[in-house]
Amino acid sequence: MPTTSLLDAIRAIVGDRGLLTDSTDTAPYSEDWRRLYQGRTSAVIRPATAQELAEVIRLCAETGTPVVPQGGNTSMVGGAVPNEDGSELVVSTARLNRIRDLDPTDMTLTIESGVTLKAAQTAAAEAGCLLPLSISSEGSAQIGGVLAVNAGGNNTVRYGNARDLVLGLEVVLPDGTIWNGLRRLRKDNTGYCLRQLFVGSEGTLGVITAAVLKLASQPREVAVALCGVASPEAALSLFTRFQAHDPNAINAFELMSGLGMSFVLRHIPGAVLPLETSAPFYVLVELASPRPNAGLHAMLEQVLEQALNTAIVQDAVIAASDAQRAAIWRLREEHSEAQKREGASVKNDVSVPVSKVPAFIRQATATCEALIPGIRVVPFGHMGDGNIHFNLEQPAGSDAAWFLARDHAIMDAVNEVVQAFDGSFSAEHGIGRLKPYMMPDWRGGAELALMQRIKAAIDPGRIMNPGKVLP
Ligand code: 2HG
Ligand code: ZN
């Protein structure tokens, strides 16, 4: 357990503003937003600089005190919460929130880890650039966490995952050393690519304190449509039509189920379906171009008209204003919140090859319905990159605790289907505390052994985010 003298020494480094010890202050940091894990901690450390953090981590290493790095605490897999016994300290990156540099010629943003993704996007936009990463929780999620979990989100189909945007990193290592790798080079072929080791490591190898991110050109034309479709198969046909027209124009291609949409319409104030009739599934498609007159609206109209004529699409609406565009996106982005308000849910953040998405949904649906009669299947997500949130809502009127106690049975059944399609059991949310038990099955043998050796080499005292990622 962290001793009073350790906490006093930490206070001497970070000051009163940098240390929370009162249980009412630490409570929000001890629980994940899904309320799957209710941990406990004797202190939350909020350093203002990487130097302060490094000194704190050195003390933790010397005393063998485990630390849990935390950004916006939006993890879907309990990756940022401390355990229940109170032995772990939480390190919040919230005060590491400076934008250090933005260079529109180099197209780079050098930014500290506590800046929210939304604030980082705004900074890029103000300089006439685009930070091409967008996730539903971007208002709270912080850059450090986004990189630590290699977030994906809505624009992976075009720009890749968080990993693809990182040119450089600054990391506080488990012994309290600061590694300054904040290079902004497009070419730098100098040995092992260490930054990519930390991206996706979920805080188990160190704490990311700053990053250099690649920017893209700001879109000058954007066109968004919401379409009602009969099935995921129809959604896939629509996707291939957009691909045939211009694959580079597709910014996002998101799938939603009719049931998920009904949760949004029921629970999210102001949510309205902008179509005349409801549909079994919906697609949100966004096209974008850095050219001002790229003809995207005409292209959207043309593809949708053909799709309507051939019954691939049942109904469609093209946003006519920024406000309508935002309203359509809101229907997609509020899916998690609506699902939470509807009741208990078990999430499967999985990916399969894009061409297999419809067959996967069909088979996984049948599997879950056979496993728990009345279970409500709510698949949605990033169809354009093959990442489906195959979420399951408790049967109406059932007991939430009873349902959640079956989470492993549900996840394992879904994962069997994922495996049959050569997919992944975690596409963009990471492993956290929820999924380490799956690692031996999916990444066992040489791969997991190598990960264990890397962990032992970089964090021999095993103080960084224990119990996460590795079984
Ligand atoms: C999204 O795509 C997020 O909105 C959350 O990744 C998905 O709630 C979920 O399962
Ligand atoms: Zn997602």
| Per-residue pLDDT tens over the stretch 357-381 | 999 999 999 999 999 999 999 999 9
Q: What is the DSSP letter of 18?
A: G
**Hey, how many other C-beta atoms are within 10 angstroms of the C-beta on 225?**
23
Question: pLDDT for 307-353, tens place per residue?
Answer: 999 999 999 999 999 999 999 999 999 999 999 999 999 999 999 99
Give me ligand 2 centre to Cα 237, in Å.
21
Write out pLDDT tens, residues 53-70.
Answer: 999 999 999 999 999 999
With 0.85 as the threshold, say if the pTM is over it: yes
Give the length of the chain.
471
pLDDT, mean of residues 194-207: 98
Q: Please give the Cα distance from 113 to 143 (Å, whole number).
A: 5
What would the DSSP string read from start to end of 242-306?
HHHH-GGGEEEEEEEEHHHHHHHHHHSTT----SSS--SEEEEEEEEESSTT--HHHHHHHHHHH
Ligand 1, atom 9, lies closest to the CA of: 336
Model confidence pLDDT, tens digit, residues 395-454: 999 999 999 999 999 999 999 999 999 999 999 999 999 999 999 999 999 999 999 999
Ligand that lies nearest to the alpha carbon of residue 136, given by its number in the listed order: 1
As a whole number of angstroms, the distance between CA 153 and CA 165 comes to 13
CB atoms within 10 A of CB 278: 14
What is the distance in A from the centroid of ligand 2 to the CA of 266?
21
* Atom number, ligand 1, closest to the C-alpha of residue 381: 2
Instruction: Report CA(456)–ligand 2 centroid distance (Å).
Output: 31
CA distance 20 to 71: 15
Q: Looking at the CA of 330, which ligand is closest?
A: 1
16: which DSSP letter? Answer: G
Which are the contacts of 27, defined by CB distance < 8 A and separation ≥ 6? none
Cα of 336 from ligand 1 centre, angstroms: 6
Q: Does the CB atom of residue 217 touch ligand 1 within 6 A?
A: no
254, β-bridge pairs:
284
Cα(457) to ligand 1 centroid in Å equals 34
SS (H, E, C) 355-423: HHHHHHHHHHHHHHHHHCCCCEEEEEEEHHHCEEEEEEECCCCCCHHHHHCCHHHHHHHHHHHHHHCCC
- CA atoms of 31 and 101, how far apart (whole Å): 33
Instruction: Report whether residue 336 contacts ligand 1, using a CB cutoff of 6 Å.
Output: yes
List the residue whose alpha carbon is closest to atom 4 of ligand 1.
Answer: 136
| Helix (H) or strand (E) segment spanning residue 119 | helix 117-126
* Closest residue to atom 2 of ligand 1, CA basis: 381
Query: Is the CB of 389 inside a 6 Å radius of any atom of ligand 1?
Result: yes
How far apart CA 362 and CA 328 sit, in angstroms, is: 26
